[in-house]
Amino acid sequence: MATPGELFEQEFEMWTPAQAKAFFRAGMVDEFFVSDVGGELWVLTLLVVGR
């Protein structure tokens, strides 16, 4: 089981929408979160397993 804050100690990468869609279709996304950061800007955070 993950300890609190463990997610944020891991490496982050930026992907294009097409790359993110490919991860979803491949079944590699374990969980995801969406945040509205104002106006028309949204942040999609993917937890990817088995990369």
Contact (CB, 8 A) for 48 and 33: no
Nearest partner of 19 among 41, 40, 46, 43, judged by Cα: 46
Q: Residue 45, by phi and psi: left (phi above 0), alpha (psi -120 to 50) or beta?
A: beta
Question: For residue range 1-51, what is the model confidence (pLDDT) as tens digits?
Answer: 455 555 555 566 778 888 888 888 888 888 888 888 888 888 888 887 765
Q: Residue 47: what pLDDT?
A: 80
Domain extents for the chain? Answer: 14-48
Report pLDDT for 9.
54
